[in-house]
Structure 1
């Protein structure tokens, strides 16, 4: 019995695989990737701030918006990437280019790198929102490196495909649906566009509620409910996980500057107290506003005789971890909203929220809002 001939690219004549369809969906995917990349850079610079680009402390809620957009655009990119791959999969059956044809070889190589890297980037990014890390490599550094590989491969791919993209960028009479072969699946091009746009919108609406409280009731795909947790605020890292099992009666808070200061918890409470309405905004995409009360960091720096524009090293009682010691840049240390917080939403800090004292500052990732603080070290 004669075996059927293997499929070729021409075996898929449906207009749903037309370059015009790939171009339209590619535009949507490109917007999602651009937003995700730029907001990801901003998040990375929050933790690894270059000397030539200091991060400002205002607007106070900027990181909340930026990281919410980062996770939203990455989530929306998943159905868009799947749709884009479906429109172009007949290319897998195209004849392999000759080793002498540089452009087609470059195109194939860029597609291989782009698709594999983007799939891995979205996969580990999604698992990060669940706080599940089943791999031995550091997530943040790997996520950052993959983003630059994606950008490089995407630029190469766009350069090679630019003539085809320009040809199919705008709808023309030649590209109108009625001028193309009829669809064999019963789904028209407009129907495909509506389906893809609807899927991306649905995924976005049902997940963005973790950072947009108004959509919280429909956030069925969001891994976090922002208002669920002790004192109405979620907890990423509990005191038990951080190795902080309790606070003894001999606990003291110290500030090391020109003059060394030392306070008990009651002495901290006796200092002038201030309030700040600030969100906790985490890299996983969730955020929740709260009312914080405590002592301004800039007041503590003034009391210890710190010079102007001092940076501050913040030391936690946490046992190990990447963020047991953090640093407050001068813009944040001097901001009147930055507190050594002692109270949350009208009550004493819960142990899981950093009792007896924690840092809260405007426009900062949650991982840098250090909990269980027991020492500040002034860096002139």
Structure 2
């Protein structure tokens, strides 16, 4: 079968530095980096506690028994895992581009497959390339708060990760015998000793160039994950000038001054038992102050000093001193009513608060006035703002 014209023709790609050695080194680097990204991504999914009421993003998760509870300590657990996810994910981009450049002749092999085994290999490569590009492109778009696509980012990113991990596993299993054979024959050392015919850049130069790109992306974004004064160094972050970012304003959520005014009441429920507190009632309860971070899925972290009522105290007031979980509902009216559930360890954590103040001042409306949830190590999206009701289960 005659090969089509263009890149399918032998000799179309002429760079002498392409080959198994360069592809293998880049592949090893990518394996390490993508393993970190995949692991922290699935940990982020676990941090949402999707088996609790109101938390499931992927519908099947609410009935999935193997998802463990997310701990409330150490305080910076989610900030670290999600910071690694976003920043290492950015570092993957230059190495992936270099790897695709190194193997591009193989993508245009003709005929595409000469046996069923090779067809499986080629299919796994197609899935691996397409899923990795999809994951990185949508991940960067989400970090920039740019959503040109019409699908739910979190759901698509989750399923894309499953496709990526499965195709990567198939690819690694298929290539392991080749790697071991090359090591036995010491062929992996040959490119170090070989002289190339007029290369424009060395193999090591390609790796160094990709590494410099990865370092640039890391330095341009890591400041928003580290927070504090370093936030201003995050040149690629969309909100580097804000020490206390706001993902959703009160206006966007449909929160008005009337909803949070003198008639506001926090309702605690336990079965048929209902207890209501005004904001003044909440301020009269024992107050606790803690310095805690908020870490968001987009990769930013901010640490503030919060003051409010411990969730364990509210559980007692509701009649559930050993509460197993609580469903927190917001005043939010725009779109779907915002709600999220917290587990037993999160309720019982010493620094888990219904926050009424931040940095010694009343919460602003955009930051959740009159009351919001703050729990150590919890994803920012579950630190519910404008809390209206808390339904406990004993």
Same fold (TM over 0.5): yes
Q: Whole-Å Cα distance in 2 between the matches of residues 69 and 278 of structure 1? A: 19
Answer yes or no: is 1:243 the counterpart of 2:254. Answer: yes
Give aligned pairs, total. 372
**Out of 324, 343, 347, which is 1:333 matched to?**
347
Q: Whole-Å Cα distance in 2 between the matches of residues 130 and 171 of structure 1? A: 47
What is aligned with 1:89? 104
Alignment of 1:203-352 (within 5 A): 203-213=217-227, 215-225=230-240, 228=242, 232-246=243-257, 247-257=260-270, 259-321=273-335, 324-352=338-366
User: Is contact 1:211–1:286 with CA below 8 Å preserved after alignment?
Assistant: yes
- The unaligned stretches of length 5 or more in structure 1 are none
**Out of 136, 141, 146, which is 1:132 matched to?**
146
Change in CA separation of 1:43 and 1:321 when aligned onto 2, cut-off 3 Å: farther
User: Is contact 1:83–1:196 with CA below 8 Å preserved after alignment?
Assistant: yes
Q: Give a deviation string over 1:159-190, Cα, whole Å, max 9, x none.
A: 22223333456994763445435154421112
Q: Give a deviation string over 1:70-91, Cα, whole Å, max 9, x none.
A: 0012111111110100011111
**Out of 172, 180, 185, which is 2:194 matched to?**
180
**Out of 68, 73, 76, which is 1:61 matched to?**
76
What is aligned with 1:199? 213
What is aligned with 2:45? 44
What is aligned with 1:74? 89
What is aligned with 1:164? 178
Q: Whole-Å Cα distance in 1 between the matches of residues 230 and 36 of structure 2? A: 21
User: Is contact 1:9–1:93 with CA below 8 Å preserved after alignment?
Assistant: no
Per mean C-alpha deviation after superposition, the further-off stretch among 62-71 and 24-33 is: 24-33
Deviation at 1:5, TM superposition (A): 7.5
Q: Whole-Å Cα distance in 2 between the matches of residues 267 and 167 of structure 1? A: 73
Q: Normalising by structure 2, report the TM-score.
A: 0.88
Change in CA separation of 1:289 and 1:73 when aligned onto 2, cut-off 3 Å: same
**Out of 377, 380, 383, which is 1:363 matched to?**
377
Q: Whole-Å Cα distance in 2 between the matches of residues 83 and 292 of structure 1? A: 46
Answer yes or no: is 1:147 the counterpart of 2:161. Answer: yes
Deviation at 1:307, TM superposition (A): 4.5
Q: Secondary structure at the match of 2:121?
A: helix
Per mean C-alpha deviation after superposition, the further-off stretch among 349-358 and 75-84 is: 75-84
User: Is contact 1:14–1:183 with CA below 8 Å preserved after alignment?
Assistant: no
Q: Whole-Å Cα distance in 2 between the matches of residues 141 and 199 of structure 1? A: 29
Q: Whole-Å Cα distance in 1 between the matches of residues 32 and 192 of structure 2? A: 28
Answer yes or no: is 1:19 the counterpart of 2:20. Answer: yes
User: Is contact 1:24–1:169 with CA below 8 Å preserved after alignment?
Assistant: no
Q: Normalising by structure 1, report the TM-score.
A: 0.91
Q: Whole-Å Cα distance in 2 between the matches of residues 148 and 304 of structure 1? A: 41
Change in CA separation of 1:93 and 1:323 when aligned onto 2, cut-off 3 Å: same
Q: Whole-Å Cα distance in 2 between the matches of residues 235 and 170 of structure 1? A: 56
Change in CA separation of 1:346 and 1:9 when aligned onto 2, cut-off 3 Å: farther
Q: Whole-Å Cα distance in 1 between the matches of residues 185 and 143 of structure 2? A: 38
Q: CA RMSD in A?
A: 2.3
